[in-house]
Structure 1
């Protein structure tokens, strides 16, 4: 039998559960990653100071929650082996351009990505590296597919 007291107990549990789920949802957006290992890359005379996202968790968080990023900075996603890499921008607050990069540093293709979008942006072929910079960084420097980026992480 369902009494008024039982109803109040069930309602209280539902409210508690809803509050807990709401707290989990609000905490789901991770804090910005600001202290990852860094390396220098160059594209001709242009030097980039990039964070290395090397673990699955670091790659999953990426540049989420960043409100801004200096023009000379970016993030290099490093994968264990070449594969078709696809990126989206959920919880990413700044517009970015992704360069999908081969082992030797050659850019395969570029993709401009809008903030807070679930649109998928993929490499044109299997790659191990994806370099994210502020939107337009590559275009302003006339860097396109086929251009070679230099850095210790790339094979010669």
Structure 2
């Protein structure tokens, strides 16, 4: 049958999976979450006088001289110290996946697979971060730092961005 005789059915209305406002809000959510994850794993989760403690280790600043040390001086378990490393790695991996998600959304795609991968990476960050937080050996007069709040905000923004993408994907395939 010649090509000129074939009749192609044209859909009456092709709706984009996401309108422009939703797409850019989702890109913003993913980028905010990525930045918050990057800052959260580098920022102090606790501070005691001039010492800051976080997944990166601890930093002592006395007399204008700052030194970075590990977490062994806190007398925490090996599992707790490893959970600090896992929290940092999970935060960086989540940051990378969320940047890829934002780029895909900005390119007017509906990256359902990347959204699922971002949820898995965020869940991994939650598990390691909650253990790092809960098993903290404690130091007298330790105050909460900004890292914990950034980590929580990153989780909320990242999950929200991924859910918007998955809902748009479900609408596009339905």
Q: Is TM-score (shorter-chain normalized) higher than 0.5?
A: no
Higher relative contact order (CA 8 A, sep 6+): 2
Q: State the TM-score bracket (shorter-chain normalisation).
A: under 0.3
Structure showing greater Rg = 2
Q: TM-score, normalised by structure 2?
A: 0.26
Q: Which has the higher strand share?
A: 1
Q: TM-score, normalised by structure 1?
A: 0.28
